[in-house]
Amino acid sequence: MEFTVNENNQYRRIDKFLRNQLKNVPLSEIYKFIRTGKVLVNEKVVKKPQYEIDTGDRIDVLIDLSIYGRKKNELAPVPLKLDIIYEDQNILVINKKAGIALHPSERTKSTTLIQGLLFYGNTKGFEPHLVHRLDRDTSGVLIVAKNLRTARTLSRMFRERLVEKEYISLVFGKPKDHGIIDTPLDDFEAITEYRTLEHFGDSTLVSVLLHTGRTHQIRRHFAMIGNPVVGDTLYGDKRVNTFYRQQYGLRRQFLHCIRVSFTNPSEPGKLQLKAPLGEDLEEVLRRLRM
C-alpha cells in the first residue's frame, strides 16, 4: 500500500505516521513491519521507528493489509477514570497511573489509555493525539493534544527541546551528586541530566531532566553507568528488584514524571504542570526513611 505525506497527515516520525494511517493494524505489527524492512520511504528501506519524514515523501508498506479486519482491531472507546491536571480547548494533561499501557499490543489484555482518552474525547467533542509517551509502569504528567494542529505544534516543541520534563527516580547505588549522561542511544543523541535528592544506603533518590526523548532513555542511561532504576525489570538488577519488592513493597519501576513546563500554544503564558508521586512510591520512601 502506498501513502503520500501531505500537510493534512504529516507526522515527524514514520511510526507515528503509520499508526495514524493504519488504525486497524495492531501497534506491535506496525513496529514489526518497520523492523523487518517492509516499510520504504521514497523507495528506501527504513528500519528505525524514529526515522523522520517530511511533506511530499512517499511511503510504501510491502504488506497485504487486507488481512487486518477493521472491526476486529479497531480501537473501541472505553470509560476510564482520568486524573486530569489541566485542560483547555486544545490541550488535555493528565496524571497517568502506573500499570496502564498507552496503546494496545498483542500482550495487552486490559483497557489502554488511548481507549479511555477516545471515550473522554467522544463525550467532549475532540479526537485525542498523544504527543509523547510514558512507559506502562511509569507514572506522571502526560500531555494530550485535542486536535492535529496542536499535536503538530507540541511535537515540534518537543523536537526543538522547548518542553522541560522532570522525573523523580530511585536508582541503585550512589551516583555523583550531579551528572550528565550523554551516551547515544540507537545511534541518536541522548542527554540525561540528574541531581541527587536523597541517599538511602544502597539507593539514591534523583531528579532527572530529559534533554532528549529516546526510548527508555532514563532507564537505559542509568543502567549504563551502573545505577539502574530500582524495580526496572528490563534493564535493572533482578536481585535488587526482588529485595525492594520484599522489603519495601515496590512492585514496579520507581520512575515518575513529576513536572512538565512549556509555553502554552493555546493561550499566552507558560504552563508548569505537576503530578505528585503516587501512594505506592511515597510508601516506599516512607519505609526507606524509617
pLDDT for the residue 105: 67
Residue 152 pLDDT = 84
From 136, 158, 180, the end of a domain falls on 158
- Among 112, 133, 158, identify where a domain stops: 158
Q: What totals of helices (H) and strands (E) does the chain contain, helices first?
A: 8, 14
Catalytic residues: 135
Cα–Cα distance list, 152 to 17, 128, 271 (Å): 12, 13, 18
pLDDT at 73: 46
What whole-number distance in Å separates Cα of residue 141 and Cα of residue 120?
A: 18
CATH number, domain of 216, equals 3.30.2350.10
What cell numbers appear for 156 in the block?
515540534
**Grouped pLDDT means (10 residues each) for the chain, 290 residues:** 76 86 85 92 90 88 73 73 96 96 74 94 94 93 93 88 96 97 90 97 96 92 98 96 96 97 88 96 96
Domain holding 215, by residue range, is 161-289
Can you give the pLDDT at residue 275? 97
Residue 175 lies in a domain: yes
Asked if residue 269 is part of any domain, the answer here is: yes
The predicted pLDDT at position 8 comes to 67
The pLDDT, as a whole number, for residue 267 is: 81
Q: Taking the model in full, what pTM does it have?
A: 0.78
